[in-house]
Amino acid sequence: MQKITPFIWLEKGAREAAEFYVSVFGDDSRITEVQVTDNTPSGTVEVITMSLRGAELTLMAAGPFREINEAISLVINCESQEEVDHFWNALSAVPEAEQCGWLKDRFGVSWQVVPVEMNRMFTDPDKEKVARVTEAMLQMKKLDIEALRKAFEG
């Protein structure tokens, strides 16, 4: 068990969301626990725990709540453009919420789909390179690794 587990309250559809996420992440992803409690003040409550490529995440469907927003997001570190494209295409459901590698899925959860190469770019000691890659990123919705590389190199 990991020490800290993200726990997301959905209004409904925790099982549907968990099954969707497991299908998107595929390799080494599975639902690990299902708890259903009836007769609570908000009706039936579902708590679904899953492992997404080794990272534990719990979803709860327990009726109305405060709206989920971008203040909390889940980051997917991607090794290639193919991986960025896969996760972006599978998860993005709210085009108006897309910016700088951030997207919102059909359950209202925010994700950052980020190439790991960007970390190297953003930590480079050359401030001009960092400024160029930052400016390029700010113009993007889905991140384009080749365009970021070109901006970084000038």
Residue 38 confidence (pLDDT): 87
Do the domains spanning 1-64 and 67-154 agree at the CATH topology level?
yes
DSSP secondary structure letter of residue 46: E
Of 134, 92, 138, 131, nearest in space to 113 by CA: 92
Render pLDDT for 117-132 as a digit per residue (tens, 0 to 9). Answer: 999 999 999 999 999 9
Distance from C-alpha of 118 to C-alpha of 89, rounded to nearest angstrom: 20
Of 142, 146, 65, 145, nearest in space to 111 by CA: 142
Give the pLDDT band (50/70/90) at residue 15. very high
Sign of the dihedral through C-alpha 96, 102, 107, 109: negative
Is 63's pLDDT higher than 90? no
Give me the mean pLDDT over the 73-101 stretch.
96
Distance from C-alpha of 92 to C-alpha of 33, rounded to nearest angstrom: 26
Q: In the chain, where are the structural domains located?
A: 1-64, 67-154
Instruction: State the fold for domain 67-154.
Output: 2,3-Dihydroxybiphenyl 1,2-Dioxygenase; domain 1 (3.10.180)
Instruction: State the fold for domain 1-64.
Output: 2,3-Dihydroxybiphenyl 1,2-Dioxygenase; domain 1 (3.10.180)
Reduced to 3 states (helix: H, G, I; strand: E, B; else coil), residue 149 is helix
Distance from C-alpha of 142 to C-alpha of 40, rounded to nearest angstrom: 41
